Amino acid sequence: MTAHELRAAELRELLNRYGHEYYVLDAPTVPDAEYDRLFRELQALEEAHPELAGADSPTKRVGGAPLAEFDSVTHAVAMLSLANAFSDMQLADPVERHAELIQFDERVRKGLDAAEVEYATEPKFDGLAISLLYENGVLIRAATRGDGVTGEQVTENVRTIRAIPLKLDGANPPALLEVRGEVLMLKRDFERLNAEQISRGDKAFANPRNAAAGSLRQLDSRITAQRRLSFFAYAIAQVEGTDWPATHQGEMDWLKQLGFPVVEASLRPVVKGVAGLSGYYEGVLARRAGLPFEIDGVVYKVNRRDQQDALGFVSRAPRWAIAHKFPAEEALTVVEAIEEQV
């Protein structure tokens, strides 16, 4: 084996283990920043040596296998991940600082043969993805992302989340609507839950994301009902029986009218070009600590759906969107919290 093959095998093994702990067990043992670092190292190795990139590599897969205890759901439209971009905020030169963002915008403009592209922006909520299916305006099924193709059926648990409408607002609901969004725990609810856990002598959760995932993936929905979970919608996967808006921003406004919680308008402006994106990124970064929920970055999506369709997907993520991650702030506390639990 060459040194590259050895390192790639080592990285795949580590990432598979950490992924299982995070996605399946809801109990990570390393900070996200460490996972991201190893993931990018493997990605770079596979790019330089394509023969190393087997279809079973963590860089080609989404999430983790669904738990056998739940009924499984096959997603009609795959639930993908997002490609990541990072910015080194220590760099003074904005072009150097946002180099990966500039590359993303260049790829999009080239793919669309456009001089300038409109992007819908959003916070990247640090919770877990959920698919909600409505038939004639009534919630009939909720499922986790799982491995992107097959998720866990968690309808009873999701019905206990007050922010999620059981019935849509308005007189003429679509015959079928699949909404995607993030289930999360607000910072204040997370603190309250951990205080209760500790006073009962139970284990504290490492962070709100794990608390949300652990609370949603409960076999007893009475436990989910006691945990205060929140929800924000961020995508539409399917609509039947009606036309729907042709832009991402229009979709979000429509979901709001139908009764879904959508993040406040000042956190989801439509912007143009790298200057618009980096301005949004730095603005949200400055607001991060004051937000009621945890975010690990922001997400940009090409606003027009026809342009999204033209760009399409790669194996695990759309080409028309990217997660622009924030610098890790929680790395140390997460490790400490995890160590305290062991």
Catalytic machinery residues: 124
Token pair of 214, please? 């652990």
Q: Judged by CB, which is closer to ligand NAD: 145, or 227?
A: 145
Q: Which of residues 243-272 bind ligand NAD (CB under 6 A)?
A: none
Q: Judged by CB, which is closer to ligand NAD: 173, or 230?
A: 230
Q: Which of 26, 28, 260, 324 binds ligand NAD (CB under 6 A)?
A: 28
Q: Which of 12, 22, 300, 320 binds ligand NAD (CB under 6 A)?
A: 22
Q: Which of 16, 24, 25, 36 binds ligand NAD (CB under 6 A)?
A: 36
Q: Judged by CB, which is closer to ligand NAD: 36, or 41?
A: 36
* Contacting range for ligand NAD; rule: CB under 6 A; set: 107-115, 123-131, 277-285, 303-311: 123-131
Q: Which of 11, 101, 117, 129 binds ligand NAD (CB under 6 A)?
A: 129
For 78, what's the count of Cα atoms within 13 Å in the CB-facing half-sphere? 16
Q: Should residue 124 be labelled a site residue for ligand NAD when binding is judged by CB under 6 A?
A: yes
Residues 17 and 65 sit within 8 Å (Cβ to Cβ): no
* Of the candidates 175, 164, 126, the residue with the CA atom closest to the CA atom of residue 255: 164
Residues 321 and 302 sit within 8 Å (Cβ to Cβ): yes
Residues 72 and 152 sit within 8 Å (Cβ to Cβ): yes
For 325, what's the count of Cα atoms within 13 Å in the CB-facing half-sphere? 15
Taking CB under 6 A as the rule, which mask of x and - marks residues 39-68 in contact with ligand NAD?
------------------------x-----
Q: Should residue 75 be labelled a site residue for ligand NAD when binding is judged by CB under 6 A?
A: no
Q: Judged by CB, which is closer to ligand NAD: 57, or 137?
A: 57
Q: Judged by CB, which is closer to ligand NAD: 18, or 119?
A: 18
Q: Which of 119, 125, 231, 281 binds ligand NAD (CB under 6 A)?
A: 125
* Of the candidates 216, 147, 180, the residue with the CA atom closest to the CA atom of residue 321: 180
Q: Which of residues 208-237 bind ligand NAD (CB under 6 A)?
A: 234
From residue 124, how far is each of 73, 143, 197, 285, 300 by CA, in Å? 25, 20, 27, 11, 9
Token pair of 14, please? 């580590």
35 SS3 class:
helix
Q: Should residue 32 be labelled a site residue for ligand NAD when binding is judged by CB under 6 A?
A: yes
Give the binding-site size for ligand NAD (rule: CB under 6 A). Answer: 23
Q: Judged by CB, which is closer to ligand NAD: 173, or 247?
A: 247
Beta strands per DSSP E along the chain = 72-74, 84-86, 118-125, 128-135, 138-144, 150-152, 176-184, 230-240, 270-272, 295-302, 321-325
Q: Should residue 151 be labelled a site residue for ligand NAD when binding is judged by CB under 6 A?
A: no
Q: Should residue 305 be labelled a site residue for ligand NAD when binding is judged by CB under 6 A?
A: no
* Of the candidates 183, 173, 182, the residue with the CA atom closest to the CA atom of residue 140: 173
Residues 333 and 96 sit within 8 Å (Cβ to Cβ): no
Q: Which of 82, 101, 143, 158 binds ligand NAD (CB under 6 A)?
A: 82
Q: Should residue 182 be labelled a site residue for ligand NAD when binding is judged by CB under 6 A?
A: yes
Any alpha helices (H) in 153-259, and if so which ranges?
155-158, 187-199, 208-216, 221-226, 248-258
Binding site for ligand NAD (CB under 6 A): 18-19, 21-22, 28, 30-32, 35-36, 63, 81-82, 122, 124-125, 128-129, 145, 182, 234, 299, 323
